[in-house]
C-alpha cells in the first residue's frame, strides 16, 4: 500500500523540485558503525550476520518515513512497507538480484530470506524480475572483501530512480571494537543529510541493543 504525498503541503516541495531536475540527484554518506555486540549476538544465535544486519537495516528503513518515499510519474508516494532487493553472490563470483520481504521479527524474516538466497545461487545471470524491479525496496549489497571509505554506484541517468542504496564493506577490528563500513546513497529530492544521519544513528543504536 502507498499514499500520495500532497506536494503543495510538503515543506520540502521546493527541495524536491530542485534536485529532481539534476542528472544525478543522489548523494552518499559513508560511516563506520560499531558492530561488536551485534556480531556476537548473531553468532550466539547461529545466524547469518549478513541476514542479521540486512534485517536490522530494513527495520530502521521502515521506521523512518523519508526512507519510504518513492517517486513515480512525477509524484511522491509513501509506502507502508519497504522490502529488500539485495545482490546475492555465487560460488562462481557472479551475483544475482533477489527480493526479500520485510517481516516484523528476525525469526519470521529468516526463512524467506534463506529460501531466496538459495534460489538465486542455483541460477545464473542477473535474475531480473518484476519483484527485483519494484520500487518499494532498498537496493542492498555487501562487499565483504574490501574495507572502503567511499563508494559510488553504476547509474543509468535516463532512468528516474529514487530507491535508497545501502552497501556494507569488510568489517574489521580496531581498539577492541568490530567496525563495519556502511554507505548510504539516497535521492536528495526526498531527503537530506539529516535523515541519513538519523538512519545511521538509529541503526547504531539497534546494533548496540
Q: How many Cβ atoms are within 10 Å of 132's Cβ, its own excluded?
A: 18
| Structural contact between residues 181 and 32, judged by C-beta atoms closer than 8 angstroms | yes
Radius of gyration of the chain (CA): 17
> What is the phi/psi pair of residue 53, to 5°?
-80, -25
195 is catalytic: no
Largest CA distance in the chain: 51
The active-site residue out of 15, 156, 187, 188 is 188
CB-CB neighbours of 103 under 10 Å: 18
List Cβ neighbours of 76 (8 Å cut-off, separation of 6 or more).
4, 5, 7, 10, 16, 69, 70, 190
The answer to whether the CB of 66 falls within 8 A of the CB of 78 is no
β partners of residue 47: none
Backbone φ and ψ of 103, nearest 5°: -125, 165
Catalytic residues: 188
Amino acid at each position: 500500500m502507498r499514499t500520495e504525498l500532497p506536494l503543495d503541503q510538503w515543506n520540502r516541495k521546493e527541495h524536491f523540485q530542485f534536485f529532481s531536475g539534476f542528472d544525478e540527484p543522489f548523494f552518499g554518506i559513508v560511516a563506520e558503525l560499531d558492530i561488536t555486540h551485534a556480531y556476537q549476538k548473531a553468532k550466539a544465535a547461529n545466524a547469518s550476520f549478513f541476514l542479521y544486519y540486512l534485517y536490522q537495516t530494513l527495520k530502521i528503513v521502515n521506521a523512518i518515513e523519508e526512507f519510504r518515499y518513492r517517486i513515480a510519474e512525477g509524484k511522491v508516494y509513501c509506502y507502508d512497507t519497504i522490502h529488500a532487493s539485495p545482490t546475492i553472490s555465487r560460488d562462481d563470483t557472479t551475483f544475482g538480484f533477489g527480493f526479500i520481504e520485510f517481516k516484523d521479527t528476525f525469526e519470521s524474516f529468516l526463512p524467506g530470506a534463506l529460501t531466496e538466497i538459495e534460489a538465486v545461487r542455483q541460477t545464473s545471470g542477473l535474475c531480473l524480475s518484476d519483484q527485483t524491479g519494484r520500487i518499494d525496496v532498498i537496493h542492498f549489497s555487501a562487499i565483504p572483501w574490501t574495507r572502503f571509505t567511499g563508494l559510488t554506484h553504476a547509474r543509468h541517468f535516463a532512468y528516474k530512480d529514487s530507491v535508497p542504496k545501502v552497501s556494507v564493506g569488510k568489517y574489521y577490528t580496531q581498539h577492541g571494537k568490530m567496525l563495519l563500513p556502511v554507505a548510504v546513497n539516497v535521492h536528495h529530492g526526498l531527503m537530506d543529510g539529516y535523515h541519513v544521519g538519523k538512519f545511521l544513528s538509529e541503526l547504531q543504536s539497534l546494533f548496540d541493543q
